[in-house]
Amino acid sequence: MSDGDSRHGASAEARTDGGHVRSGRAGNSFLGDFWVNFVRWNLKAVRNPFVVVGSLVQPIIFLVLFTQVFGKVATGALSGGGAGGITYETFLLPAIAMQVSLAAAAGSGIGLVNDMEEGMFEKTLVMPMSRSAMFLGKTAAEILRIVVQIAIILALGAVLGAEVATGFVGAVGILGVGILFSLWFIALSNIMAIVTRDQESTIIGANLLQFPLLFVSTAFLPLDAMPDWIQVVATYNPITYGVDAARALMLDQDVMTVVEVTRFGGIWNTLVPAVAVLLALDLVLGGAMVYLLNRASSSSVK
């Protein structure tokens, strides 16, 4: 075969997919594209440590200040709310772990807007890469950061006197809940980024959602210790389900009071409905984000 035929054969291996050139070379495999984007977003996080450190420092401040300033008062509220015998450090730690997930997930949309503002978003769209692999690589990098940060919070909680009643398995379970819990907010953060295409608007939007939702959930006090209207809001608040799932693993008991489930027994009466709600949120918001991302990328390429 001549050199011209070889070149023609190599070109024949390339195909167009929705207007994008896709190479048939092994280097453009799905896993290869996934790994390139996974590494890229991790390197980007390392080069911009302010976002990483900021999403971790704030929950640490909450953990230290809340336990030291409100510890005695909150312990009394726990006793009156049916959670007697539990230290506030142990009660609060699962909530702070979920707050870490929220803060780190908010950075997902900020990173996407940053790519748009720098023109990198449009450049990656015309590369011969799988868009699914690009998104999954980005999400996996963010999940890795969330896992590391939750592990740091759990270690700090142990230093402050918090105890995971279910042991190492329970700690791993809390990490898993943190991942599942973060996915819906990662999707929501990216939706805000796609809609606004502005970094400041995405940051403000994420913060406006984070803090009110945290305080009208079971994060800082048991449901019975809160006003009636907050109890109603907490029932429909996604943060309640993430916190309750992590807290059930922390305390090794059924802690969910917004929904009464008795058919599974023990902590499963909390874990099953909580995981079901979080999975539903992940699927709905994740689907909406993928739709908007595909629509935005199509218009950007044009």
Does a structural domain hold residue 10?
A: no
**Choice among 28-32, 150-154, 194-198 with the minimum mean pLDDT:** 28-32
**Choice among 12-26, 67-81, 86-100, 198-212 with the minimum mean pLDDT:** 12-26
Does a structural domain hold residue 5?
A: no
Residue 179 has pLDDT above 80, yes or no: yes
Residue 2 has pLDDT above 50, yes or no: no
> Rounded CA gap, 33 and 128, in Å?
9
Does a structural domain hold residue 286?
A: yes
Report pLDDT digits (tens) over 53-96. Answer: 766 777 788 787 777 766 666 666 665 544 556 788 888 899 99
Residue 249 has pLDDT above 70, yes or no: yes
Residue 129 has pLDDT above 80, yes or no: no
Does a structural domain hold residue 74?
A: yes
The whole-number pLDDT of residue 299 equals 58
Residue 203, domain extent:
25-301
Most confident of 26-30, 207-211, 221-225, 246-250: 246-250
The whole-number pLDDT of residue 104 equals 82
Amino acid identity, position 11 = S
Mean of all residue pLDDT scores within the chain: 80
Number of separate domains in the chain:
1
The whole-number pLDDT of residue 176 equals 94
Structure pTM? Answer: 0.80
Does a structural domain hold residue 125?
A: yes
Does a structural domain hold residue 16?
A: no
Residue 284 has pLDDT above 70, yes or no: yes
Residue 265 has pLDDT above 90, yes or no: no
> Rounded CA gap, 75 and 156, in Å?
19
Does a structural domain hold residue 201?
A: yes
Does a structural domain hold residue 107?
A: yes
